[in-house]
Amino acid sequence: MVSPNHRVTTVVRDIRRENGAIVTLTLMDPDGWPLPPFTPGAHIDVHLPNGAVRQYSLCGDPVDQARYSIAVQREADGRGGSVLMHDGVRVGDTLLVSLPRNHFALAAPGHRHVLIGGGVGLTPLMSMVAELRRRKDPFELHACLKSRSDMPFRGWLEPLERDGLARLYATRDADGSRLDIAALVRGLPDDVHLYCCGPARMIDAVLAASVGRPEDTVH
């Protein structure tokens, strides 16, 4: 049995800037071996060079065992981990990570799914969308952004929007809109599974709107 404290050695193979605050890092095995598998919604602990440990959702496709993708939002007023990831980690650096764990799993196949995410909170939903498309389960994504000009994950969000699978809400744009969470949740049948990841206010709004829904459909 593998210890839950087992650490996996990875190498940073790519760093991509998503917008003014978020970067996506691609981590791979130093020798190109497959990484331990993960399920949609999973996360890993990243052991930073200064000894700190931070959790990041895996935002890649779970069938791709060659790489882990994580997105990091710079928090200037945070505890320092995100600043170190932005300023101190470079392509070629080694990072130790935990085995993937999942406390935000997808429901079993055969359901309709509604996903709500805000900013960097979209990251666990990215792996979910990949799996839902493979399953051919019906789903819709509601992505809350500050502005279209500075939105993260553009290459992922815009194709979903064009295909009618995602709605984007740019709250600070002159012609933008804000997601009415209460109205959205109120209109969902009880057998629809609802997922949310984002700022605390967003999660609180989803929980408040979900009062009375079957508990196992709210994630």
Tell me, what's the pLDDT at 2? 54
DSSP string covering 15-28, please? EEE-SSSEEEEEEE
pTM score above 0.75: yes
Distance CA 91, CA 81 (A): 17
- Summarize the confidence of residues 30-34 as an average pLDDT: 97
Collapse the DSSP code of 101 into the 3-class scheme (helix H, G, I; strand E, B; otherwise coil) and give the result: strand
**DSSP per position, 120-175:** GGGHHHHHHHHHHHHHT--EEEEEEES-STT-SSHHHHHHHHHTTSEEEEETTSTT
Under a CB-based contact definition with an 8 Å cutoff, are residues 219 and 185 in contact?
no
What single letter denotes the amino acid at residue 165?
L
Report the distance separating Cα 204 and Cα 66, nearest Å. 36
Instruction: From 98, 99, 95, 101, select the one nearest 40 (Cα to Cα).
Output: 101
Check whether 49 has a pLDDT greater than 90. Answer: no
- DSSP track, 66-91: TEEEEEEE--TTSSSHHHHHHHT--T
**pLDDT tens digits, residue range 146-193?**
999 999 999 999 999 999 999 999 988 888 889 999 999 999 999 999
Nearest to 101 by CA among 56, 181, 38: 38
